[in-house]
Amino acid sequence: MSEEILKNYPELATEGLPTVKQRLDISNKAVTQMAIEASLSCIKAWGRPLSSITHLVYVSSSEARFPGGDLHLARGLGLRPDVRRVMLSFTGCSGGVAGLRVAKDIAENNPGSRVLLATSETTIVGFRPPSARRPYDLVGVALFGDGAGAVILGVDPIQGIETPLFEIYSAVQEYLPDTEKTIDGKLTEEGINFQLGRELPQVIEDHVEGFCKKLMKERGGDGSEFEYNEMFWAVHPGGPAILTRVESRLNLWPDKLSASRSALRDYGNASSNTIVYVLEYILEESRKKREKGDKDYEWGLILAFGPGITFEGVVARNLLS
């Protein structure tokens, strides 16, 4: 929210007015622009032309329109008309890791493909003005943020042209029965109304270890041969309490979630995008460790938690380690 937006849409500052159209007018345009900028930055770093993108996976819980944001993003980037598109809507905080899972499956089942995964989110659709009957949610406003992220996935990298950063080895999704009200969102005339249950950190703490063991079995064996502190951890920072609960339940060393805490500190919980920021910080940490000659960790887990409650997880190799 900015002074410019409030000047152009003063009705957003009055509680109870039907403003979903105005919010979507702002959000639909903003998320596409952010996704374009993030994607172009990613493609530039990748080093190959736009025409090499064969598939697009677009993730956003911040827009609603027909045609969807995947088409608007493809057009905005100038991708080929025959690029094959998938859109993941309203997956919330787990959307970025869900996007990795979907893009991995596409890449592995289409030899020679290059999949652009883009995520883009804004909090404008959930903004609530102060009111006499409800205190202003300073915690929520401070915790959540806007932004976009992008990665490119494929198999058989071209030597000398493509430099792979991570190997997405396997991916798992699981939802917890009877928890659908713990993260509850409704699209109303006043925008999206989110309700996060106070029990959310406890629910994640109670189930995260079992989910991690299931993930590690994907590497072979029964998973018991893997030591949590001998891996890197890319955990979506839903909030400080969630990170603390995960750290405590798994007995992780304090530095294990440093990338997640850095992303939360610098960008807030930007929903599906945030896991991209966390992975960027992990790469930064790897480069610093290599320069110092310190030990780095090759294998790790990428985790996120979203509506459902849905757990998304990836077993990955850090190829810079």
Q: Which residues of 261-299 are buried (b: 16+ CB within 10 A; e: fewer)?
A: bbbbeebbbbbbbbbbbbbbbbbebbeeeeeeeeebbeb
Strand partners, 173: 312
For helices 95-109 and 274-292, angle between their N-to-C axes, nearest 10 degrees: 80
Which structural domains are found in the chain, ordered by start? 3-154 (3.40.47.10), 166-318 (3.40.47.10)
> If you average pLDDT over residues 37-56, what whole number do you get?
97
pLDDT of residue 104: 98
Helix (H, G, I), strand (E, B) or coil at 88: strand
pLDDT of residue 188: 85
Percent of the chain with pLDDT over 90: 79
Query: pLDDT digit string (tens) for 273-315?
Result: 999 999 999 999 999 998 998 889 999 999 999 999 999 999 9
Neighbours of 157 (CB within 10 A): 12
Which tokens belong to 278? 């966390």
Nearest to 92 by CA among 119, 69, 116: 119
* pLDDT of 197 above 70: yes
Query: pLDDT digit string (tens) for 90-144?
Result: 999 999 999 999 999 999 999 999 999 999 999 998 888 877 766 666 777 789 9
Query: pLDDT digit string (tens) for 247-281?
Result: 999 999 999 999 999 999 999 999 999 999 999 99
Helix (H, G, I), strand (E, B) or coil at 262: helix
Distance CA 22, CA 20 (A): 5
Distance CA 65, CA 57 (A): 17
pLDDT of residue 158: 95
CB proximity list for 155: less than 8 A, separation 6 or greater: 107, 108, 111, 113
| Average pLDDT over the chain, rounded to an integer | 93
Residue 93 falls in the annotated catalytic set = yes
Query: pLDDT digit string (tens) for 177-188?
Result: 999 999 888 888
Query: pLDDT digit string (tens) for 211-232?
Result: 999 998 887 655 555 689 999 9
Out of 38, 93, 150, 279, pick the active-site residue: 93
Which tokens belong to 32? 């596409």
Query: pLDDT digit string (tens) for 4-42?
Result: 999 999 999 888 899 999 999 999 999 999 999 999 999
Helix (H, G, I), strand (E, B) or coil at 248: helix
* pLDDT of 167 above 90: yes
